[in-house]
Each structure stands twice: as structure tokens, then as C-alpha cells.
């Protein structure tokens, strides 16, 4: 750990792991020296990476044993291919057996890697199953979203399977990226170059307000670590049994009817009754969290 601010957004996957884990505690599985590179990228004459864009291993956080996976958003947009996906799946399977205090998924991914699209799609489905199996074995899984690629496509679904979702405002969470929607449906549906709009629709504050992100932190790796430590001692559990899932079903249906026409986060801030909806994007995470807390105290 470092006493200096480290932008989580700017940091590499390895730097994020180093910042979240206790100093010197990280042990990597399938490290770069093993050269588990993607044969599919090589066949398409595209550059490969020795870790195929994801770092997996064990560590301690505040003295507690965890398993960690961190996607490298700068390598092919953190996209999931055969090897990349198998590493995350293997880690979750190890978790179900070893029962660490938690699995930390540092998600930074646009979803499936198109160069090996079928392998990537299947891998994400395998990750989903392994993740739910780890949870069923009593191991909580926490997602961290604050990188340049956010959590989209299948990794957006994986993120929402997690018990806790810890985000910065810079992080984005969704299914289809704005560029994809604009390409298929037109700029009127979603203008992907309107960055402020993109964040109002997918960013950390909206996700926190809707209860999808469980914690909102500033773009500082130290804050992500503090949130991890807090979650390790007291975390939300993803719904799993029939009663939980019926309640979750009702809540999702309620959200749709509570925001019948909403297409912009601004309308969500208004509907929630935040004092200055237009100013929300400028708020620090602390100030935003305080406003949300006050609203829930009133309700």
C-alpha cells in the first residue's frame, strides 16, 4: 500500500492488484513466464500478451485471504478470450474449494473478444456458472469497476452477479456499449460522443443510486482498497434462495414502473429528490453518498 494517491482509472491491472493487496502478499497463478498466450490472436496476426490480459492469484487484504482477478483494459479492451476466460473461471473454481474470505474481480472489459468470439462467449457463460457455484459454496464475490473499459457485455452481467459492486464515478457498467447502440440504432438513440450523457446513463453515481453498485468511491486505488476491507467485514449477499429472488424480481419490476420514460440519469436524480440534480456529476463521491444517505434516512 502506498500513502500517495494512485488513480485507479489510470493504473494497470498489476498496479491495481498491488494497490489492493497487502504488500508482498500476491502470488500469481499461470504467471506471464508460462506464456499462456492466445493462439487465436496469433493466428489472426494480432499482438498477444503473456498473461492474455488478466492477472489471477491469491493475496491477503488486511490480513484476510482472498483470490484476485484483474483484467487489463488496455490489452484488447480487457476482452474475454479462451485463455483469459479460463483463468477467471479456474480462479472461481479454486475459490469454491479453498473458501477464501472473498474473490475480488477487478473488472475492466468490453465483454467478448471478437477475434475468438465463440470461445469468449462460452467462457463468460462458464464464469457465470463458476461464480454462482462459488457463492453457493459460501464464498462472496466482489466486483470493482473503475477502469477505462468499464464493465460491459458479458462482463457487465458477471459484475451484477457479484455480492458487492464497488465503483468509482469514472467506472461504467452496462450491457451494450454506447458505440454499439449508436451504430445500430442511430445517434438519436444514444450519442456515444456525448461523454456527459454516457456517464449519466452508465456511470458509478447512477449505478449507486439505483442500488446496483453497493459502494461508490473516488478514483483512488486506496479508496478501492478501503472499500474492499469494509466489504470483507460486512457485505451484501446476492439473492440466492426463492424468497430472495422473488423479492429481487419485484424490485426490478418496480424500478421499471418507477422510471417509466427515463432515458437520462438526470431524471433519476430528479425522481429521487436530490437537491441539485444538475450538479450531481460534479459531486465528490463522499458528498453524493451523503446525499443518498440523507434521502434514505428521510424515506
In the complex, what is the shortest distance from the CB of residue 284 to other proteins, in angstroms, rounded to a whole number?
23
| Choice between 261 and 298, CB closer to other proteins | 261
| Choice between 251 and 287, CB closer to other proteins | 251
Q: What is the 3-state secondary structure (H, E, C) of the chain?
A: CCCCCCCCCCCCHHHHHHHHCCCCCCEEECCHHHCCCCHHHHHCCCCCCCCCCEEEEEEEECCEEEEEEEECCCCHHHCECHHHHHHHHHHHHHHHHHCCCEEEEEECECCECHHHHHHHHHHHHHHHHHHHHHHHCCCCEEEEECCCCCECCHHHHHHHHCCEEEEECCCEECCCCHHHHHHHHCCCCCCCCCHHHHHHHHEHHHHHHCCCCCEEECCCHHHHHHHHHHHHHCCCCCCCCHHHHHHHHHHHHHHHHHCCCCCCHHHHHHHHCCCCHHHHHHCCHHHHHHHHHHHHHHC
In the complex, what is the shortest distance from the CB of residue 238 to other proteins, in angstroms, rounded to a whole number?
7
In the complex, what is the shortest distance from the CB of residue 279 to other proteins, in angstroms, rounded to a whole number?
19
In the complex, what is the shortest distance from the CB of residue 180 to other proteins, in angstroms, rounded to a whole number?
7
| Choice between 233 and 257, CB closer to other proteins | 257
**Among the listed residues 147, 297, 286, 291, the one whose alpha carbon sits nearest the alpha carbon of residue 226:** 286
In the complex, what is the shortest distance from the CB of residue 96 to other proteins, in angstroms, rounded to a whole number?
9
| Choice between 64 and 74, CB closer to other proteins | 74
In the complex, what is the shortest distance from the CB of residue 209 to other proteins, in angstroms, rounded to a whole number?
11
| Choice between 174 and 224, CB closer to other proteins | 174
| Choice between 28 and 62, CB closer to other proteins | 28
Amino acid at each position: 500500500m502506498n500513502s500517495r494517491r494512485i488513480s485507479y482509472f489510470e493504473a494497470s491491472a498489476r498496479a491495481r492488484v498491488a494497490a489492493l493487496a497487502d504488500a508482498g502478499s500476491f502470488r500469481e497463478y499461470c504467471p506471464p513466464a508460462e506464456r499462456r498466450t492466445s493462439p487465436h490472436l496469433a493466428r489472426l496476426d494480432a499482438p498477444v500478451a503473456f498473461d492474455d490480459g488478466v492477472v489471477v492469484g491469491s493475496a491477503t487484504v488486511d490480513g484476510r485471504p482472498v483470490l484476485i482477478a484483474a483484467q487489463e483494459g488496455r490489452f484488447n479492451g480487457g476482452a474475454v478470450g479462451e485463455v483469459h476466460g479460463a483463468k477467471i473461471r479456474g480462479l472461481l473454481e479454486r475459490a469454491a474449494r479453498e473458501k477464501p474470505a472473498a474473490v475480488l474481480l477487478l473488472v475492466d472489459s468490453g465483454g467478448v473478444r471478437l477475434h475468438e468470439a465463440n470461445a469468449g462467449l462460452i467462457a463468460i457463460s462458464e464464469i457465470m456458472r463458476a461464480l454462482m457455484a462459488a457463492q453457493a459454496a459460501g464464498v462472496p464475490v466482489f466486483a470493482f469497476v473503475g477502469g477505462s473499459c468499464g464493465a460491459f457485455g458479458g462482463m457487465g452481467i458477471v459484475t451484477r452477479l457479484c455480492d458487492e459492486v464497488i465503483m468509482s464515478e469514472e467506472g461504467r457498467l452496462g450491457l451494450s456499449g454506447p458505440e454499439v447502440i449508436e451504430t445500430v440504432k442511430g445517434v438519436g438513440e444514444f450519442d456515444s460522443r456525448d461523454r456527459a450523457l454516457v456517464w449519466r446513463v452508465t456511470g458509478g453515481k447512477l449505478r449507486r443510486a439505483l442500488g446496483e453498485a453497493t459502494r461508490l468511491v473516488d478514483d483512488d486505488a486506496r479508496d478501492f482498497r478501503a472499500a474492499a476491507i469494509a466489504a470483507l467485514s460486512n457485505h451484501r449477499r446476492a439473492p440466492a434462495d426463492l424468497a430472495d429472488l422473488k423479492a429481487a424480481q419485484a424490485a426490478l419490476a418496480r424500478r421499471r414502473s418507477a422510471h417509466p420514460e427515463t432515458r437520462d440519469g438526470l431524471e433519476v436524480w430528479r425522481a429521487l429528490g436530490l437537491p441539485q440534480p444538475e450538479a450531481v456529476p460534479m459531486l465528490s463521491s463522499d458528498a453524493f453518498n451523503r446525499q443518498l444517505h440523507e434521502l434514505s434516512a428521510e424515506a
